[in-house]
Amino acid sequence: METRELVYFLAVAEELHFGRAAERLGITQPPLSRTILRLERRLGVPLLERGGRGTVLTAAGEVLAREGVKALASMEAAERRARRAGRAEPRLVVAVKPGGDGGLLPAILTAYRDEAAAIEVKVLVCGVAERAARLRDGTADVTFLHDPLEDLTEFDSEPLLRERGVVALPPGHRLAERTSVTMADLRDEPLARWRGLRGPHTCGPEVRDGAELMQLVALGIAVAVVPESAAAVMRGDLVCVPVTDAAPTTVVLAWPRDTRSPALAAFVHTATRVATAAHRSS
């Protein structure tokens, strides 16, 4: 199966309409029809049920649509990584969510840049779900993830920092003056959930980023349990109170499986060294 055939099929599978798919692909409808027909002949299975009103996917079509996007992403990642590896000056791209580094990144960067084998490091600030996507597509080499909240199974990873939870509250909140709270105290509170992260809470609004979360907390619409390091980047008009029995999270460094890059290995090594040093001194 050629890449182009797969791209064409995925366009049709999404649009369920040859005309619109062709338009999106920048070609006309007949060559698209022909390509899909030949693909079906070569696979030996029909992928689409053509009806008078649009088309629907067959079982085989469903499978190819699902597996095909993965395969295509893999092809594009291979291409992107090769391109990056060939660029004149190699550099390491670290994807990080604002406040998602457990406060370690400045110290890690400082320590890493002192290493003999260090190469240029670029920090790519991006959203919650975007970090994993950037690792997958080869745009970034390494990122910080939070252990029980995010899926680590598709990456290699190294734990850096174990953190307890704190709850972010608006200033006048009934719990804002407490020195610590428990999850039971928060049972009736609208606990915010992060979009794209798994969390135990299902009540409360869903947020996309830290700014939205802080805005909702400031307005009294939500409260949020966050790792203690996130308290440092919290807006000054919010209050953070330790939650004694919140499930602890671990900040981990994650990178694509089977990466063989001396620069990345050195970065990971430095990061764990910095993290354990920071842990002991605290």
Q: Which residues bind DNA (CB under 7 A)?
A: 2, 4, 16-19, 26-31, 33-38, 50-55
Q: Which does 3 bind (CB under 5 to 8 A by kind): a second copy, DNA, none?
A: a second copy
Distance CA 245, CA 187 (A): 13
| Residue 102 CB contacts under 8 Å (≥ 6 apart), including other chains | 144, 160, 161, 163, 227, 229, 251, 275
Q: 222 and 204 in contact (C-beta within 8 Å)?
A: yes
Neighbours of 248 (CB within 10 A): 13
Q: Least distance to DNA from the beta carbon of 4, Å?
A: 6
Residue 67 lies near a second copy (rule: CB under 8 A)? yes
- Residue 213 amino acid letter: L
Which CB sits closer to a second copy, 52 or 86?
86
- Tokens describing residue 35: 């390509």
Which CB sits closer to DNA, 27 or 218?
27
Which CB sits closer to DNA, 55 or 229?
55
Residue 277 lies near a second copy (rule: CB under 8 A)? no
Of the candidates 194, 116, 86, the one whose C-alpha atom is nearest the C-alpha of residue 148 is: 194
Q: Least distance to DNA from the beta carbon of 229, Å?
A: 50
Q: Exposure of 184 by Cβ count < 10 A (0-12 exposed, 13-18 middle, 19+ buried)?
A: exposed
Residue 211 lies near a second copy (rule: CB under 8 A)? no
Which residues make beta-bridge pairs with 144?
253
Summarize the chain as % helix, strand, coil (round to 5).
40, 20, 35
Q: Show contacts with a second copy in window 108-137 (CB under 8 A).
A: none
Q: Which does 35 bind (CB under 5 to 8 A by kind): a second copy, DNA, none?
A: DNA
Residue 89 lies near a second copy (rule: CB under 8 A)? no
Of the candidates 130, 123, 129, the one whose C-alpha atom is nearest the C-alpha of residue 109 is: 123
Q: Least distance to DNA from the beta carbon of 24, Å?
A: 12
Q: Least distance to DNA from the beta carbon of 194, Å?
A: 38
Q: Applying CB under 8 A, which of residues 17, 46, 133, 242 lies at the interface with a second copy?
A: 46
Distance CA 192, CA 93 (A): 30
Q: Applying CB under 8 A, which of residues 47, 109, 132, 274 lies at the interface with a second copy?
A: 47
Distance CA 146, CA 203 (A): 21
Distance CA 25, CA 12 (A): 10
Q: Applying CB under 8 A, which of residues 27, 77, 96, 133 lies at the interface with a second copy?
A: 77
Q: Least distance to a second copy from the beta carbon of 33, Å?
A: 19
Q: Least distance to DNA from the beta carbon of 48, Å?
A: 7
Q: Report the interface residues with a second copy, using CB under 8 A.
A: 1-4, 6, 43-47, 58-64, 66-68, 70-71, 74-75, 77-79, 81-87, 90, 138, 153, 257-258, 260
